[in-house]
Structure 1
């Protein structure tokens, strides 16, 4: 008798689990619609992705423009919550935000604990900022030397495993860059678009510093992250991101916010438009 009952019980349990997961995923979208607000975790570490405009004291940046466009697509208002590299995953898992648009590139480790919107909204790699007189010419020159990054950075692993750097994790990009200026590391590695604009916009403060190497470290897809199991939310947002690509909206946002390299966005627009 047990041989006949066990498969049925197992099937019933599997169906129940699938239904519970589906209901949980749907509940996120239902909550967003019910309260009329999409709550997005964003990092305000600097242009072009997210920053406080000194003139208007408002939040601006490429990631903020995407967040506002997604809220508009859902027919709700946008609320942003400032997160940092050490707490952004925790804020999402605890329900303090609905989604993360927070300079988080796709990695297999992150995909083990979170789900994501399949279509990337950018592709970013790391750039090493250091003193012009450092003598560093290549990533391999970082071996055995102290290098600053933000805590939780996906650049940490390749810096250690591929290049033998002694990585120092700081709570945020601004603190990492302050450590560089204070002589606590020979280089600071952050998203190339951000540090490139920093050097350009604040030439006097950073006159003795430069982007050390011509290549970027670990170019990866920047994606929107959701809680594990929230496939419906991810699928709904993916439709919007794909439409933003094909309409040219993401490219407009990128140019308006001075992203230094829009090659990926241009290619993705062509690819997705051709597949429609």
Structure 2
């Protein structure tokens, strides 16, 4: 072998060592045959343990299943805490996060967001007996919220003088209100309705009519995984076009459920107004 050819081979080897391999999480998922989806497991009706079977089910879980089905792989659910959603994704311990993940500019610097698959109204629940009717009435009072959630950030932005008290998960934050440890509880409107149903007849609760924010939710994808993000968005668009996405909303939030909610959004790219 000539000295010239040897020098080319050596240079090529050094170059391949210097340039990192391109990320291909989509390829890795297909190769292993399993999609690992991070979800909460504590936020009915989005992701919760069925009382009868203990199986984790819900609106978010159904979207996880749809993603796995389109890829032709098995689904593995991994329960994550609210504040661990982004770290679990960034560190590669889950492939997707489908866990009440509201879009924010700060989060979008850390991960990529899919198209919106849900739009949440963030509200504050109070005890009816306290007579609190607006955000001004919560000045100087304590409001609970899940740690690391959009609800926590919304309270800080919308309730001047309010003190945010964070808890590990939504049920614990809710119980703080029921047990008179705080004066308000911040969460998405639909999830709040479900919590209120759990204590109906024991404690009279209500939602302040003002909305802290209208928050688009997306599926979280690790930064730089363009192929996986495209696959997720293509699947969401297909679900919207076929009517599957609307059917899932009706299944969990429609006329026959506790929420009796109309779907006033579509699967589409997230655009903040």
**Aligned mates of 2:106, 2:200 — CA distance in 1:** 37
Q: Quote the residue 2:3 is aligned against.
A: none
Distance 2:253 2:264 in 1: 14
* Whole-angstrom CA distance in 2 between matches of 1:99 and 1:45: 18
- Take 1:201 and 1:214, find their aligned partners in 2: how far apart are those partners? 20
Alignment correspondent of 1:154: 150
- Tell me if structure 1 keeps the 8 A contact 2:174–2:195: no
1:224 equivalent in alignment to 2:226: no
2:262 paired with 1:262: yes
Q: Which residue of 1 aligns with 2:210?
A: 215
Instruction: Provide the aligned length of Structure 1 versus Structure 2.
Output: 246
Pairing partner for 1:87 from 84, 87, 93:
84
Q: Using the TM superposition, give the Cα deviation of residue 113 of structure 1 relative to its aligned residue in structure 2, in angstroms.
A: 0.8
Computing the radius of gyration from Cα coordinates, the structure with the larger value is: 2
Instruction: Tell me if 1:141 matches 2:158.
Output: no
| Distance in 2 between residues matched to 1:236 and 1:133, nearest whole Å | 50
Separation in structure 1 between the aligned mates of residue 20 and residue 136 of structure 2, nearest angstrom: 49
Q: Is the 8 A contact 1:86 1:152 kept in 2?
A: yes
- Taking a change above 3 Å as real, the CA distance of residues 249 and 20 of structure 1, as seen in their structure-2 partners, is farther
Q: Partners of 1:154 and 1:46 in 2: how far apart? A: 14
Conserved 8 A contact 1:129-1:209:
no
Using the size of structure 1 for normalisation, the TM-score is 0.83
CA RMSD of aligned residues (A): 2.0
The correspondence for 2:230, drawn from 220, 235, 243, is 235
Q: CA deviation at 1:211?
A: 2.6
Per-residue CA deviation, residues 96-125 of structure 1 (Å, 9 max, x unaligned), is 1001001011000101111111x1000002
Structure 1 position 128, deviation (Å): 1.5
Tell me which residue corresponds to 2:10. Answer: none
In 1, the alpha carbon distance for the partners of 2:153 and 2:227 equals: 32
- Secondary structure (helix, strand or coil) at the match of 1:257 reads helix
Aligned partner of residue 196 in structure 2, secondary structure:
helix
Of 42, 46, 61, 1:45 maps to 42
Contact 2:151 2:188 (C-alpha < 8 Å) held by counterparts = no
Give the unaligned 5+ runs of structure 1.
1-15
Q: 1:195 aligns with which of 192, 212, 216?
A: 192
1:46 deviates by 3.0
**Secondary structure of residue in 2 paired with 1:264:** coil
State how far apart, in whole Å, the 1-side matches of 2:147 and 2:240 are. 31
Whole-angstrom distance in 1 between the partners of 2:206 and 2:217: 21
Pairs within 5 Å for 1:11-90:
23-24=22-23, 27-90=24-87
What is the aligned partner in structure 2 of residue 3 from structure 1? none
Separation in 2, partners of 1:162, 1:258: 27
Q: Is the 8 A contact 1:115 1:231 kept in 2?
A: no
Deviation at 1:44, TM superposition (A): 1.3
Structure 1 residues 201, 247: CA separation in 2 closer, same or farther (over 3 Å shift)? farther
Kept in 2, the 8 Å contact 1:127–1:211? The answer is no
Structure 1 residue matching 2:241: 3-state secondary structure: helix
